[in-house]
Amino acid sequence: MRKHHIAAAALAAAALLPAIGHAFSFSLPDAASAITAASTDIEAAFSPDAGALDLVLKVIGSAKQSIRVSAYSFTSAPVTKALLDASRRGVDVQVVVDQRNNLVDDRSGKAAAALGALVTAGIPVRTISTYAIHHDKFLCVDGRTVETGSFNYSDAAARRNSENVLVIWDRPDLARRYLRHWQSRFNAGVPYQPRY
């Protein structure tokens, strides 16, 4: 009886193979071309030795109208400087960061320095404690481009950790989804008050 079931299953699978092969041969070229076309609008980089920080700075430098930052750890001097430079050239910059990581656990004072510099320059910064951790790490630029990945905006991410950065250029549909998420977190946050 068992041999009969195995034989029947084998026959059924053999009968389906031509149909499966036809379906795949028909759909694979379309899927492959979609991936190729999309890849021209995507960039990836890695740290500590393959350009992650440079790609983040490139995205910030590309902004003409707005930058929305969502961060877990925010201690990077180069990222802070790039955001300050963007603000000086008229870009609307706003930031939301994890409260605990950047206030309670900021033993080095680097988060306080970075966030304080932004607030002093008139950039709205909020901290959020609603979740166990606010682990989001992304930039949304001009409502069109999203930078995301594991990369924290920190010196450790740039120099010591194994991290990744992915940029999806000129995808306003995707950017809108990230902006909705960002706005919900910003709305739940409280304004950062510098310690000095």
Specify the amino acid at residue 142: D
> What is the 8-class DSSP label of residue 109?
S
Per DSSP bridges, beta strands 92-98 and 66-71 are parallel
Instruction: Say whether 37 sits in a helix, a strand or coil.
Output: helix
In 3D space, the residue among 118, 127, 31 whose CA is nearest the CA of residue 83 turns out to be: 118
Name the burial class of residue 26, with classes exposed (0-12), middle (13-18) and buried (19+) by CB atoms within 10 angstroms of its CB: exposed
**Cα separation of 64 and 94, whole Å?**
14
Active site residues per annotation: 135, 137, 142
Distances (CA, A) of 174 to 161, 166, 194: 28, 13, 33
Sign of CA dihedral 119, 124, 125, 126: positive
